[in-house]
Amino acid sequence: MIHLEIPPRSDHLALVRRVVAAAAGIHAVLTDRRIDDLSLAVSEACANAIDAQRSTGSTEPLGIVIELEPGGVVVTVSDHAGGFSPDEVDPIPAADDPGRLVHERGLGLPLMRGLADAIAFTGTPDGTDVRIEVEAAARH
Amino acid sequence: MDLAVRVDERDGWAVATAHGDLDLTTAPRLREQVIDVVVGGQPCVVLDLQGVDFVDSTGLGVLVGLLKRTRTHGGDLRLVSSRTGLRKAIELTSLDLALPRYDNVDAAIGAGHPTGG
């Protein structure tokens, strides 16, 4: 298990992606394409966490835990922003909906859901844990 | 990784070539640079992302914003990228109809000029 802590600042996102990709690469269970999926999903989770902590004024570091499992890699991102419910986020319109282009933000959740094989949001005493699972063989 | 953007003129288009990562940190800079080109009188923009290794949701949002901005000014934004990561991100966010991609700059320009010229 690999633990990483970063300040809640967007200029650390590239570092997180590289650490996740390097850890998954050493593990040698995921293909390069699946490692890209994992890196992007984790980067989105961290970007959301940074955004959420900025809005609550928390400067606590974000926690990132990487678990190398026999069938894949699990990454958990922990923030200290007081809690969040993914169900309260408006869904984006379909590709052929003329209103689609109004949505320049809010793309992170659909991306994370599409890239990960499993994703879970769990409330903690002072924030949210986002658990992202990518398997060697994609479920979709 | 940082993002470097260079803008050239070609056949009535501004061709912006980007290298690096297009994410929460770097996407605002791309937006500013392309908007400068549009506001400066060239709303027809080809954005060559072949050298971009990573695009996140903020980067996708900026691409949507730039597409609207160029069209508001009577132009268009055409993306060049054959990379799997960008294609997948565009599909997962249901942007594949809004943001068609071309394999190279020649194909993007060859698809016709929005002003009919």
- A81-111 pLDDT, tens per residue? 987 666 666 667 777 776 666 566 679 999 9
CB pairs under 8 A between A and B: 78
pLDDT at A100: 62
Is the CB of A108 less than 8 angstroms away from the CB of B57? Answer: yes
Contacts of B86 in chain A (CB under 8 A): none
Residue of B nearest to A18 (CA): B1
Closest B-chain CA to A39: B54
**What residue spans define the domains of chain A?**
2-135
Distance from CA of A44 to the nearest CA of B (A): 7
- As a whole number of angstroms, the distance between CA A103 and CA A138 comes to 28
Q: Nearest-CA neighbor of B59 among A14, A104, A52?
A: A104
Among the residue ranges A99-113, B22-36, B87-101, the one predicted with the least confidence is: A99-113
- Which CATH number is A2-135's, of 3.40.50.720, 3.40.50.970, 3.30.565.10, 3.20.190.10? 3.30.565.10
* Domains in chain B, number: 1
Span A1-24, average pLDDT = 96
Residue B111 confidence (pLDDT): 85
Q: Which residue of A has its CA nearest to B58?
A: A105
* pLDDT at site A139: 56
A27-55 CB burial, b ≥16 within 10 A, e <16: bebbeeebbbbbbbbbbbbbbbbbbbbee
Q: What is the pLDDT of residue B4?
A: 96
Across the range B78-94, mean pLDDT stands at: 93
For chain A, positions 68-87, list CB contacts with chain B under 8 A. none
- Higher pLDDT among residues A91 and A2, named by residue: A2
Model confidence, pTM = 0.89
pLDDT 10s digits, A27-85: 989 999 999 999 999 999 999 999 999 999 999 999 999 999 999 999 999 999 987 66
Predicted confidence at residue B117, as pLDDT, reads: 55
Q: What is the pLDDT of residue B58?
A: 95
Contact A108 B56 (CB under 8 A): yes
Distance from CA of A94 to the nearest CA of B (A): 6
Inter-chain touch A93–B61, beta carbons under 8 Å? no
Residue span of the structural domain in which B62 resides: 3-110
Rounded mean pLDDT of B67-80?
A: 96
Q: What is the CATH number of the domain that holds B48?
A: 3.30.750.24
Average pLDDT over residues B67-89: 95
pLDDT band at A137 (very low <50, low <70, confident <90, very high): confident
Region of A3 (left: φ > 0; alpha: ψ -120 to 50; beta: rest) is beta
**pLDDT for B68 beyond 90:** yes
A124: closest CA among A69, A82, A77? A82
pLDDT over 70 percentage in chain B = 98
Question: Using the beta-carbon criterion (under 8 Å), do A107 and B88 form an inter-chain contact?
Answer: no
| B56 in contact with chain A, both atoms CB, cutoff 8 A | yes
Residues B95, A100: C-beta atoms closer than 8 Å:
yes
- In this complex, the residue of A14, A33, A100 whose CB is nearest that of residue B84 is A33
Instruction: Spell out which residues of chain A touch residue B95, defining contact as CB-CB under 8 Å.
Output: 95, 100
A3-18: average pLDDT: 96
In a domain, B115, yes or no: no
Angle subtended by helix axes A32-56 and A108-115, to nearest 10 = 150
Distances (CA, A) of A61 to A64, A107, B105: 10, 24, 43
A14 and B21 in contact by Cβ < 8 A? Answer: yes
